[in-house]
Amino acid sequence: MYTISRFSQLCKMSARMLRHYDKENLLKPLHVDTTNGYRYYGRDQLETAIQIKKLKEYKFSLQEISVILQTSDKESISHLIHSKIAELSNEVNSYKQIIFEMQELIEDKNVFASVDRRSYDILLGMRKETCVLSQRMKMNLDHMDEHIDSIYEKAEKSNIHLTSVMSATFFDEEFNPDNSDIELMIPVVYRKDEDVSTHWQIKILPEQFIATTLHIGSYDYIGYAHMALEEWIDINGYEWSGAPYETYLKGSESDCPEDEYVTQICFPITKKI
């Protein structure tokens, strides 16, 4: 057997990291001396240590690595790898977009100049009673597209007929990108069964008076549309009667530039008494 110091040299992994992997039940020592707490590792554990190190390089989380190490199903492992490739590809595309925008900044003489405030046409209307497939959850905003895709997949598997595009209501009082409280909704043909699953619902949105506008372009600047609606509502003697929501008429699924995205923002309102 090898001491933790020697084993760390053999697998080129710090002793601190080995202790952490022991705590996470990823790579436990073969023996721990009860008198002094010294950890000892076996020859066969070197392969596991190398696998963990390589999977970390592949950007797998410790939880994902644990699943991979504990399964012997090659198909399941292949599925996890394909999912990670897709995730990394999305990150690469995101970085490419960032690099492109930074290159544009270099060529622009007004680097970091303030973005011009946009003008928005505000419309009043009555949203008709609508049947929607709904899911409210806590999510990382970076994974929102994945959750939206899963709704479409769920609807298809359940033979639910969709009638429009996705909307999202944000319930957090403060911006919380890592754990946002969001309800995703998509209009569907009316069905009597209310519960599609323990996580999904089909429900009826009541008729509602709304103020609405369209935002064209990147989501980075969608705050201007919300500000325009809030100011219009206040100036014209209205008040909110529910949480605002966004409807994604044209977005990343359209494979178009961000400046062509189209988002409708709706504020449920009532006249102030």
**What digits encode the pLDDT tens for the residues 1-45?**
899 999 999 999 889 999 999 998 999 999 998 888 899 999 999
- For residue 218, tell me if it sits in a domain: yes
Tens-digit pLDDT profile for residues 60-95 = 999 999 999 998 888 889 999 999 999 899 889 889
Q: Is residue 178 domain-shared with residue 81, that is, in the same domain? A: no
Q: Is residue 152 domain-shared with residue 239, that is, in the same domain? A: yes
Write the DSSP assignment of 133-161 as a string of letters. Answer: EEEEEEE-GGGHHHHHHHHHHHHHHTTPP
Q: Structurally, how many domains does the chain consist of? A: 3
- Report yes or no on whether pTM surpasses 0.85: no
Q: Are strands 31-32 and 2-3 parallel, antiparallel or unpaired?
A: unpaired
- For residue 118, tell me if it sits in a domain: no
Q: Is residue 260 domain-shared with residue 128, that is, in the same domain? A: yes
Which parts of the chain are beta strand (E)? 2-3, 31-32, 39-41, 123-127, 130-139, 167-170, 180-187, 201-205, 208-216, 238-240, 245-250, 262-271
Averaged confidence pLDDT in the chain: 87
Q: Is residue 178 domain-shared with residue 207, that is, in the same domain? A: yes
| Residue 219: DSSP 8-state | G
State the residue range of the domain holding 30.
2-70
Tens-digit pLDDT profile for residues 66-75 = 999 998 888 8
Q: What is the CATH number of the domain that holds 138?
A: 3.20.80.10
